[in-house]
């Protein structure tokens, strides 16, 4: 490889992605105190798309600077330390963390410990730890539990979110809840939530709601007790119910709230997978008020109640269980090179990636 490259997207037109050449190669010498990561692979999914769509409000564009008007979309991936200019970071180590869609990333390692390091580059200061931390795959329990690194790249962030969602729900009494309705039930975080709810000591009935052409695949995952299409919301059982909404769709929220009425005890808003849907009009919704799920607050509360070692052990066990349950169900797909990665990104933008497809990209 004579040159490296990266993919940037127009911040005013997220369908417009271009290739930028880079002078970085695996043999580049990083400045003293820095390290050069060779990016092996990264996830491409609806999560990538929603990250880009919300980047202006979340500040995600600043993680990896790009020319004016363009942005690098942060995405979870796997890399190795190709060259190190830091005395405490060895070359050859394999890491996972948030990366740009690129062949290389220059980082400034700090807070190095046996588990990993943080990027102390000025533009990343003030970021949440999860966004600037890189973990050594050889010793990280979740990585060790992942026989296929592609599955880890494609699923780990979403399953982490699912774990926090269920931890947050479980922190409040669920004894009175007979059923949990999950919208956008085919998305990976929703599948993780359904799996984890089903593993509770006293699990509620878990009912997924998704679009017509996703019902069969979502049902075959085995994560839900029942899967309905959006047009069949009126067949939901009326009883003490909680809704976990990933769709952010005004029509879906209207139908669910009006059908369940006062039997809807909680309505948790997690995401907005229906990017072009009408917004939710909360002023006219019967049943419980909609609550915005805030992952940092839930994580902080969880750490107050449970020590980090116990959390890590519980997460690793849950991760193993999730991988076992869906072993053979996923359809991994690797796309290599700028053209193939751009095509896969645009497919995710238009929602044409299959429910079971796990797309992992590489520019190398």
The beta strands (E) that lie in the chain are given as 4-10, 13-22, 35-44, 70-71, 75-84, 94-99, 104-107, 109-113, 116-119, 133-136, 179-183, 205-210, 226-229, 241-245, 264-269, 290-292, 331-336, 357-362
Can you give the pLDDT at residue 23? Answer: 87
Distance CA(257)–CA(55), nearest Å, equals 30
Please, what are the averages of pLDDT over each run of 10 residues along the chain (364 residues)? 83 96 91 97 92 90 93 97 97 97 97 96 82 95 92 96 94 87 96 97 96 97 98 96 94 95 95 82 90 90 91 96 96 96 94 93 94
What pLDDT, on the 0 to 100 scale, is given for residue 131?
Answer: 85
Task: List helix spans (H) across 178-306.
Answer: 188-198, 215-220, 250-260, 295-305
d(CA 287, CA 265): 7
How much is the pLDDT for 1? 44
Q: Measuring CA to CA, which residue among 85, 107, 125, 87 is closest to residue 38?
A: 107
The single residue listed with the structure tokens 């690194």 is: 149
Give phi and psi for 166, each to the nearest 5. Answer: -70, -35
Backbone φ, ψ for residue 109 (5° rounding) = -65, 135
Displacement of CA 21 from its chain's centroid (Å): 28
CA 353 centroid distance within chain = 16
Is-contact 83 30, C-beta < 8 A? yes
* Residues shown for the chain: 364
User: pTM for the whole thing?
Assistant: 0.93
User: Residue 56's pLDDT is what?
Assistant: 92
Confidence (pLDDT) at 170: 87
Domains of the chain in sequence order:
4-145+333-362 (3.90.180.10), 157-297 (3.40.50.720)
């Amino acid at each position: 490889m004579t040159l490296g490259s990266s993919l940037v997207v127009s911040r005013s037109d997220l369908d417009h992605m271009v290739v930028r050449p880079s002078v970085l190669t695996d043999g580049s010498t990083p400045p003293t105190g820095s390290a050069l990561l060779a990016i092996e692979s990264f996830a491409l999914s609806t999560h990538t798309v929603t990250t880009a769509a919300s980047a202006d409000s979340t500040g995600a564009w600043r993680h990896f600077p790009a020319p004016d008007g363009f942005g690098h979309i942060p995405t979870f991936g796997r890399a190795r330390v190709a060259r190190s200019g830091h005395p405490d970071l060895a070359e050859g180590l394999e890491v996972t963390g948030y990366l740009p869609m690129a062949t290389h990333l220059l980082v400034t390692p700090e807070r190095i410990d046996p588990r990993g390091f943080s990027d102390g580059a000025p533009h990343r200061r003030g970021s949440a730890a999860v966004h600037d931390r890189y973990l050594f795959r050889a010793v990280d329990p979740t990585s060790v539990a992942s026989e296929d690194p592609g599955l880890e790249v494609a699923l780990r962030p979403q399953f982490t979110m699912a774990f926090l969602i269920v931890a947050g729900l479980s922190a409040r009494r669920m004894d009175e809840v007979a059923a949990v309705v999950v919208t956008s039930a085919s998305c990976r975080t929703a599948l993780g939530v359904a799996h984890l709810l089903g593993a509770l000591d006293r699990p509620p009935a878990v009912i997924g709601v998704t679009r017509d052409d996703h019902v069969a695949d979502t049902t075959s995952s085995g994560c839900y007790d029942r899967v309905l299409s959006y047009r069949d919301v009126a067949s939901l059982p009326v009883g003490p119910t909680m809704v976990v909404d990933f769709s952010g769709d005004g029509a879906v929220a209207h139908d669910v709230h009006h059908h369940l009425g006062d039997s809807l005890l909680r309505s948790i808003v997690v995401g907005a997978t229906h990017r072009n849907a009408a917004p939710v009009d909360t002023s006219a919704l019967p049943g419980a008020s909609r609550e915005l799920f805030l992952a940092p607050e839930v994580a902080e509360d969880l750490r107050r109640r449970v020590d980090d070692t116990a959390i890590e052990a519980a997460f690793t066990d849950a991760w193993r269980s999730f991988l076992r349950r869906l072993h053979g169900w996923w359809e991994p797909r690797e796309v290599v090179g700028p053209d193939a990665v751009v095509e896969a990104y645009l497919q995710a933008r238009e929602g044409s990636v299959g429910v079971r497809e796990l797309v992992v990209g590489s520019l190398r």
